[in-house]
Chain A
């Protein structure tokens, strides 16, 4: 299995802050990484795919970068609606695996 490790597990930030979340893969996954946002009681929502492609309808303050084993999700200016948990997922193999999540909290 390809293991995905996110850091930090929890992040405290204020509205307007620039926020960066890191995801590391246990082996190279090329560009085959997605980022999801999940709010309490809701299903995950796709934000980014292919490491840096923005899903239709997702605000441009979200961006993704990286390749190989290290990836980042950046929120350029945190908005009240962005307080949520974020997950990365690799899909390099038929058997996709998720990171453990990063909770973005209000500071």
Chain B
């Protein structure tokens, strides 16, 4: 059974770049889609973006100018970078595996990583 684990700094300063990594175990990252989703009190659950194991990515239009996702198949990991963060980016960040049926939806989630943006 696939397991996902987020890792990265829990505190990021305003205007800096948030960086998180998701390590996948119990299955290969190859030939699958992987997403980042965040949850905040103000905006609820918000999809950030999706990446395929080859590196092809799609992003939420509202975040597209600040988001970069990447994948490292040799480490079975994928990553998120969100630049120029503000307090509004404070949230629990989840990585997830997407499955396809009509569109893509997450069927397995990491436990989540709380990231606070504060000086």
Docked pose: A45 CA to B107 CA in angstroms: 8
Which A residues lie at the B interface, using CB under 8 A?
Answer: 30-32, 34, 42-46, 49-50, 55, 87, 89-101
The answer to whether B45 touches A50 (Cβ under 8 A) is no
Range of interface residues on B (Cβ < 8 Å): 20 to 34
Question: Are B102 and A32 in contact (CB-based, < 8 A)?
Answer: yes
Q: Nearest-CB distance from A105 to chain B (Å)? A: 18
B26 at the A/B interface (Cβ < 8 Å)? no
Interface core residue of B50, B103, B111 (most chain A CB under 10 Å): B103
> In the complex, A33 Cα to B107 Cα: how many Å?
13
Interface centre among B46, B61, B102, B108 (most CB of A within 10 A): B102
Minimum CB–CB distance from A11 to chain B (whole Å) comes to 17
Measured CB to CB, the residues of B under 8 A from A are: 44-47, 50, 58, 60-61, 94, 99, 101-112
Question: Could you tell me if A42 and B111 are in contact, using CB atoms closer than 8 angstroms?
Answer: yes
Contact A43 B105 (CB under 8 A): no
Interface pair B112/A30, CB less than 8 Å apart:
no
When A and B form their complex, which 5 residue pairs have the shortest distance between CB atoms, in order from nearest?
A91-B103, A43-B109, A98-B45, A32-B102, A91-B105
Main secondary structure of the interface of A (DSSP, over half): loop
When distances are taken between beta carbons in the complex, the residues of chain B under 8 Å from A30 are 102
> Which of A43, A49, A98 has its CB near the most chain B CB atoms (within 10 A)?
A43
Query: If the complex has contacts A95-B58, A95-B60, are A43 and B110 also in contact, measured as CB distance less than 8 A?
Result: yes
Which residues of chain A have C-beta atoms less than 8 A from B44's C-beta? Answer: 87, 98-101
A88 to chain B, nearest CB (A): 10
A-chain residues with CB within 8 Å of residue B61 when the two chains form the complex: 95
Contacts of A89 in B (CB 8 A): 45, 105
Residue pair B105, A96 in contact (C-beta under 8 Å):
yes
